């Protein structure tokens, strides 16, 4: 682990421990290298003050620390001490000197042979000890496996669950190593860690996570729907990892079963089929050489050590009560609506009719249209954290949370969420907007037939849950921007199949009498009006209620309306002529022009224009100085624009923005930015302050 000098604001001592430097920082606190009174070097994690100030957090922290202390010291960095009651809350663990698995793979490349087998066995042994203590790690990943002189050690177990309760309503964990049940928000048990074990072993063998990289929604969809990429894994280790990565938790092996299989294989030689001398570049005192030397010894000791783990870890207890990693403090979501007056368009009429009368778009109703959404959870929680010390900022966060936003549907089971939303919407007299984002093979990748069959059944479930209620569906942002088989995408995919899949989803949702469905129309500078028109036509935009624009952009509202009109006209012309271009002098039939909605959640200050040159400016990636835009309304002043909606989240990060430079920091902001999809309070506050019109 890299040691940094203490900063001016860092403490010099915590309890009886002298702090020597910084080892890292995470969502829970800062980790320091410390020296105990007897001179032993330890890792001291000091909990963030905002968390430590909450009584509920301290109770959870104390409970999880007590559980973590019960974990046997087999391939783990044990908890040595903690203070959960003092002014400064902290946790002390054994200091493990050595790089993380992730750093070692990045520096030296994937592991092979006995080094890979030894890693798999060590992590299985660590999970066996952790699970025997009644703890679920919930965040096993390469950065939480340290390669010490005596072998791999798993760190940060147990207390990750305390952090879960403090995070946003978004999924918790590192996306590429999460289990399907973690993605869906279901209760977690030991099987979730087994899935993460499989992901980590697969990464160690190839240098690539088994479900790839990309945006958080893209990776999570692959985890739930797609088979893993297990390149680099030899048999039978591949078979063991395949079993660990089963979508069904009940079909995964336990940690003990992993150890038994690996132990048996170590005697038969069936797991480690590669025993050749490392390449010259890998010999000597480097990480790979240390791993290989350690693993060879581990293979000879594995069976005896496995038996020791069983005896020592189980101890006098034969029953374990698993903690629920999803437990969180109960919160009451406020109901918020926004109102506007809308004129009927296209003869759609009222949406109040439950039966008969054809299809009704709730955005084109006569009279006043109101939107419903629960208070946005992350912004509301941030307001609570800032209430005492930053009351003005807290007030802005409350205003941000109160604006109705699109309600995300991406988990495997969403029907209870839909039912609860519709009940609250009826009571509030508002229309909910649902953002559907779970398309298999999204972000350029081909999809399997089985995954798509499951997706279409999932869409049927959404349609059935909505039923005759009035609702708006934003269908799969990005699905028509990065299309399989298109330029810069996976050539194995099929663009026509993507279009057919979306058409089927549109037809299913539009079978409801009062559901309005909008397809992805991208934005005005990518990939181009004529191309988007072709893709929308092939995806059945004429069977939907229209398209949406600007979910990935920051263009001002007037530019988006201009683009929406141009795209609508182009669709009309192409449908009439059967051509692929849109001459400016072509005759357009207004009756055939599709409508659209505009995402105004982040466009209050328009698009970002960098004041200096970067190799790749990434103007879409967390641009500074932006603000939230027009509030959700159907009063757009444009007949084709059905509404302005808040589809994206103002406080969510677009990911690590390096803008073509080396290193991890964003050269514009000078810091390492949060991962894609993570709640970023500073950016949320910036966009609330820059709101246009003001909040």
Distance CA 544, CA 507 (A): 8
DSSP class of residue 234?
A: P
Catalytic residue check, 229:
no
C-alpha distance from residue 448 to each of 216, 499, 504 (Å): 20, 15, 16
What length is written for the chain? 695
Strands 17-25 and 13-14: antiparallel
**Exposure string over 370-391, b if 16+ CB within 10 A, otherwise e:** bbbbbbbbbbbbbbebbeeeee
Strands of 604-654, DSSP E: 641-645
Longest Cα pair distance anywhere in the chain, in angstroms?
86
Q: 10 Å Cβ neighbour count for 23?
A: 18
Write the secondary structure of 91-112 as one string of H (helix), E (strand) and C (coil).
Answer: EEEECCCCCEHHHHHHHHCCCC
Direct distance between the N- and C-terminal alpha carbons of the chain, in angstroms, rounded to an integer: 44
3-state DSSP call for residue 223? helix
What gap in Å lies between CA 635 and CA 529, rounded to an integer? 25
HSE at residue 451, side-chain half, CA atoms within 13 A, is 19
From the list 441, 550, 452, the residue with the least C-alpha distance to 486 is 441
CB 518 within 8 A of CB 547: yes
Q: Which residue has the tokens 């038994």?
A: 260
* Separation CA 141–CA 29 (nearest Å): 18
Q: State the Cα–Cα distance between residues 556 and 608, nearest whole angstrom.
A: 11
- In angstroms, the CA 444 to CA 218 distance is 10
Alpha helices (H) along 89-215: 101-108, 113-132, 160-164, 180-184, 190-206
- Contacts of residue 505, defined as CB under 8 A and 6 or more positions apart, other chains included, come to 436, 455, 456, 459, 475, 476
Q: Cα–Cα distance between 475 and 548 in angstroms, integer? A: 9
CA-CA distance, 252 to 271, in Å (whole number)? 19
Coil/strand/helix, residue 557: helix
DSSP 339-367: EEEE---TT---S---SSSS---GGG-SE
Q: Taking a C-beta distance cutoff of 8 angstroms, is the pair 681, 651 a contact?
A: yes
Omega of the bond prior to 75 within 30 degrees of 0, cis? no
Asked if 437 and 410 touch (Cβ cutoff 8 Å), the reply is: yes
Contacts 24+ apart (CB under 8 A), 495-500: 495/535, 496/538, 497/447, 498/441, 498/539, 499/535, 499/538, 499/539, 499/540
83, 139, 545, 599: the catalytic one is 139
CB 637 within 8 A of CB 685: no
Backbone angles phi, psi at 83, to 5 degrees: -125, 110
Residues with a catalytic annotation lie at 139
């Amino acid at each position: 682990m890299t040691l940094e000098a203490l900063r001016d604001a860092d403490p010099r001592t915590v309890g009886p421990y002298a702090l020597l430097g910084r080892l890292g920082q995470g969502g829970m606190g800062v980790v320091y290298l410390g020296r105990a009174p007897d001179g032993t070097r330890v890792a001291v994690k000091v909990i963030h003050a905002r968390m430590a100030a909450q009584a509920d957090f301290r109770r959870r922290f104390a409970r999880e620390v007590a559980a973590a202390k019960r974990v046997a010291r087999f391939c783990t960095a044990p908890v040595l001490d903690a203070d959960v009651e003092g002014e400064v809350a902290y946790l002390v663990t054994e200091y493990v000197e050595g790089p993380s698995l992730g750093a070692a793979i990045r520096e030296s490349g994937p592991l092979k042979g006995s080094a890979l087998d030894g890693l798999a066995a060590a992590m299985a042994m660590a999970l066996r000890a952790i699970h025997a203590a009644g703890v679920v790690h919930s965040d096993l990943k390469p950065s939480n496996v340290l390669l010490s002189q005596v072998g791999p050690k798993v760190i940060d177990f147990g207390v990750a669950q305390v952090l879960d309760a403090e995070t946003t309503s978004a999924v918790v964990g590192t996306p590429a190593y999460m289990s399907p049940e973690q993605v869906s928000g279901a209760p977690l048990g030991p099987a979730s860690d087994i899935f993460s074990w499989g992901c980590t072993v697969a990464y160690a063998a190839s240098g690539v996570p088994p479900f790839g990289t990309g945006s958080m929604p893209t990776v999570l969809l692959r985890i739930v729907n797609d088979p893993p990429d297990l390149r680099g894994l030899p048999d039978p280790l591949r078979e063991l990892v395949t079993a660990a990565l089963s979508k069904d938790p009940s079909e995964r092996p336990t940690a003990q079963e992993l150890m038994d299989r690996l132990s048996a294989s170590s005697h038969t030689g069936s797991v480690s089929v590669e025993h050749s001398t490392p390449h010259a570049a890998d010999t000597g005192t480097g990480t790979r050489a240390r791993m290989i030397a350690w693993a060879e010894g581990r293979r000879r000791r594995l069976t005896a050590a496995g038996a020791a783990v069983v005896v020592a870890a189980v101890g006098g207890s034969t029953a374990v009560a698993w903690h629920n990693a999803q437990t969180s403090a109960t919160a009451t979501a406020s109901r918020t609506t926004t109102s506007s007056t809308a004129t009927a368009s296209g003869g759609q009429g009222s949406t109040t009719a439950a039966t008969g009368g054809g299809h009704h778009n709730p955005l084109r109703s006569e009279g006043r249209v109101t939107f419903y959404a629960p208070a946005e959870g992350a912004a509301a929680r941030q307001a609570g954290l800032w209430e005492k010390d930053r009351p003005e900022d807290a007030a802005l966060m409350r205003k941000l949370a109160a604006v109705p936003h699109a309600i995300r549907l991406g988990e495997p089971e969403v029907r209870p969420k839909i039912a609860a939303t519709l009940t609250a919407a009826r009571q509030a007299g508002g229309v909910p907007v649902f953002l559907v984002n779970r398309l298999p093979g999204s972000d350029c990748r081909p999809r399997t037939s089985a995954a798509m069959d499951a997706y279409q059944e999932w869409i049927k479930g959404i349609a059935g849950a909505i039923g005759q209620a009035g609702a708006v569906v934003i269908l799969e942002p990005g699905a028509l921007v990065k299309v399989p088989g298109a330029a810069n995408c996976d050539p194995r995919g099929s663009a026509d199949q993507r279009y057919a899949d979306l058409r089927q989803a549109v037809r299913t949702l539009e079978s409801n009498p009062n559901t309005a469905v909008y397809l992805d129309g991208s934005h005005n500078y990518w990939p181009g009006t004529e191309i988007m028109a072709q893709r929308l036509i092939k995806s059945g935009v004429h069977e939907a209620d229209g398209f949406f624009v600007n979910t990935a952009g920051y263009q001002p509202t007037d530019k988006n309306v201009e683009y929406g009109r141009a795209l609508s006209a182009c669709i009309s012309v192409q449908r009439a002529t059967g051509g692929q271009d849109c001459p400016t002098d072509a005759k357009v039939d207004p009756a055939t022009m599709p409508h659209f909605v505009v995402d105004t959640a982040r466009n209050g200050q328009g698009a970002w224009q960098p004041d200096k040159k970067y190799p790749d400016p990434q103007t879409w990636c967390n641009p500074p100085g932006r603000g939230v835009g027009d509030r959700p309304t159907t009063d757009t002043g444009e007949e084709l624009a059905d509404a302005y909606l808040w589809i994206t989240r103002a406080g969510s990060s677009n990911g690590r923005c390096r803008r073509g430079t080396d290193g991890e920091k964003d050269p514009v902001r000078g810091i390492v930015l949060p991962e894609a999809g993570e709640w970023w309070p500073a950016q949320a506050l910036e966009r609330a302050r820059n709101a246009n019109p003001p909040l």
